[in-house]
Amino acid sequence: MHGTFRIKTVALDAPRHAAFRWVGDQDGAATTLVEFWIEGAASGVTLRVAESGFRSLGVNEDELRKHVEGNAEGWRIELDAARSWALES
């Protein structure tokens, strides 16, 4: 729906942790870091997501807020989809 997004793997400790950076349009451009943690227990599985590094983007406060809010909303949508998929499986 939103196109293709290129990522670079920063760390991978499957299946517990993965960290990725978005690959920007320009080489060396600042991007955010997205990390995933998966923890299993008898009661179920917890997936935790954190995205950091927004200040490194070098944008003004209004643009920074738009990036944070837009990405937070995007993660809510993606995590809801992941939850639905997991419950159906």
What's the pLDDT score for residue 13? 97
pTM higher than 0.85: no
3-state helix, strand, coil in the chain (%, to 5): 35, 35, 30
pLDDT per residue rounded down to tens, the chain (89 residues): 667 888 899 999 999 999 999 887 776 678 899 999 999 888 888 999 999 999 999 999 999 999 999 999 999 999 999 899 888 87
CA distance 52 to 33: 5
Domain spanning 7-88: CATH 3.30.310: yes
Residue 6: per-residue pLDDT: 84
In the chain, where the domains are located: 7-88
Residues 6+ apart with CB under 8 A from 75: 49, 51
